[in-house]
Structure 1
């Protein structure tokens, strides 16, 4: 009897190890999220954003072939806008192999979206060489928004409305909270305050500092903790706020309005090549209008 129990325990442990160190880290999926940001306008109802966070190209199961697959899946989702939330490279992940940012950018250049592809840098990009990573991305036509902004114009084709609507909003990129200047005031200089504002950055720990005029903030960095244990939680999250900004949607009441944050669990791994109940994902956000219908 003891032998059977020991064998069963060994098989369970073997399966869990395979799941955490192989099956889940090697997987990739598109996950659709519907969000209703505060005061998101009706003419932008249905805007689709694809968020690629923490690619960590070169981490186990995340080489250039995998990046090619990620690019193809993202394009097949037909997003209006693609946001690259930093950490394109790796340093020191067990079993990983460094991939030059120039090689990764060669594939990222194949991403297509009607409103464009925009990027910020993550802490790993800063640790390698921010000038090099920025140049690799920008020379492939991807706009880097480091404490800068861009007014976006795009057409929304809604399934519920035969007439396409013209959508305008501010897109604000904020540099990494750990390593960048993360100058929010600079990032917001010159924006059209009559338009809604989306911000994206690498590290969600900046969220408490985000101005209330920002409709939605998008981030990565945490990898969702990489490991989630039922009834226990996420043992390790690289955040000063523990699990508060680890993954998914967070709303916080400000002085005048509610601020909203979305944190993608990302794609690659860091430190240890493990994911357990936090599968890699291409996050696709559909932003729904909070404005009442016009009679």
Structure 2
């Protein structure tokens, strides 16, 4: 028989381990998935012009209405937080509905669109569809959004003209750019050539789509590509990484700002971790976020000065 003090120590260790596991489970399956925050990202894409400095782009990806903690009340909060961030343009990067998530329930796209209609941005609100939207019915989801005044860009583009106002120095200037929507890499045609047809090559081009796996196919003329789909893997384990990322490229396009060099040209991608959950209602160290991108021109390169002795 083990000494009483040894049994006590082992009991305490077991209780401590059980408490830690309980706290981690509560965090991953309740606290983090039910949270929502606005995260500001400052990006400096190559070739972004100074006259468009400060353009604020809000990205709402993977709403997955009906996943746990992501009902219509949460969507109302998301819309309010997005509007409070005062974006110049709002991009909805697909997957408005959900199928098969544990503990979830279906929310009709028409009900979601009624709330999304309250999003406000001076340059407009634009959308593409995700794979879950196609699995439900792409025409139904697309119509629900369009009927509420949201512009659907599926392998199409639109020239955007907006006035950027700087409160600090009380100045304003016109910003013009091409906005290109590319349909889902898995389920849509993702016809990049058609999507880019007729764009003005003298102004910058922003492309947005659902699945970032299309990024290697995006031509260099696109200044910045914006996507969602991955949910940032939903789970990030320190020293291990993201165990599951729905991408053929593993963690390469999992989350955040990504740059790639091609033939001496830098290509830029931003992947939002999104808001909802899929398959399992879990998030760990990948909290849901409304991504707000502030786009700025590259920092001018200044040669270092060497003092001669």
Same fold (TM over 0.5): yes
Write out per-residue CA displacement over residues 170-208 of structure 1, whole angstroms, 9 at most, x where no aligned residue.
Answer: 000000000000000000000011010000000000000
Pair 1:171-2:170 in alignment = no
Superposed counterparts of 1:1-295, under 5 Å = 1-159=9-167, 161-290=169-298, 292=300
TM superposition shift of 1:163:
2.0
Question: In the aligned structure 1, how far is the partner of 2:182 from the partner of 2:92?
Answer: 12
Residue 254 of structure 1 and its aligned partner are, at CA, apart by 1.6
Q: 1:291 offset after TM fit, Å?
A: 7.1
**Contact 1:216 1:261 survives alignment (8 Å):** yes
**Displacement of 1:292:** 5.0
CA distance in 2, matches of 1:153, 1:72: 24
Give the TM-score taking structure 2 as reference length.
0.93
Query: Counterpart of 2:281 in 1: which secondary structure?
Result: coil
Say if 1:43 and 1:291 are closer, same or farther in 2 by CA, change over 3 A: farther
Cα distance in structure 2, aligned partners of 1:228 and 1:291: 32
Distance in 1, matches of 2:285 and 2:160, equals 36
List runs of 5+ in structure 2 lacking aligned partners: 1-8, 302-309
Answer with 1 or 2: which has the greater Rg.
2
TM-score by length of 1: 0.98
Cα distance, 1:256 vs structure 2: 4.4
Tell me how far 1:255 sits from its aligned partner. 2.0
SS class of match (1:258):
strand
Aligned residues: CA RMSD: 1.1
Does the CA contact (< 8 Å) of 1:93 and 1:273 recur in 2?
yes
8 Å contact from structure 1 (residues 220, 264) kept in 2: yes
Runs of 4+ in 1 over 3 A off after TM superposition: none
Q: Gaps spanning 5+ residues in structure 1: where?
A: none
Superposition deviation, residue 229 in structure 1: 0.1
C-alpha distance in structure 2 between counterparts of 1:158 and 1:35, whole Å = 18
> What count of residue pairs does the alignment treat as equivalent?
293
Residues 207-236 of structure 1 show CA distances to partners (whole Å, capped at 9, x for unaligned) of 000010000000000000000000000000
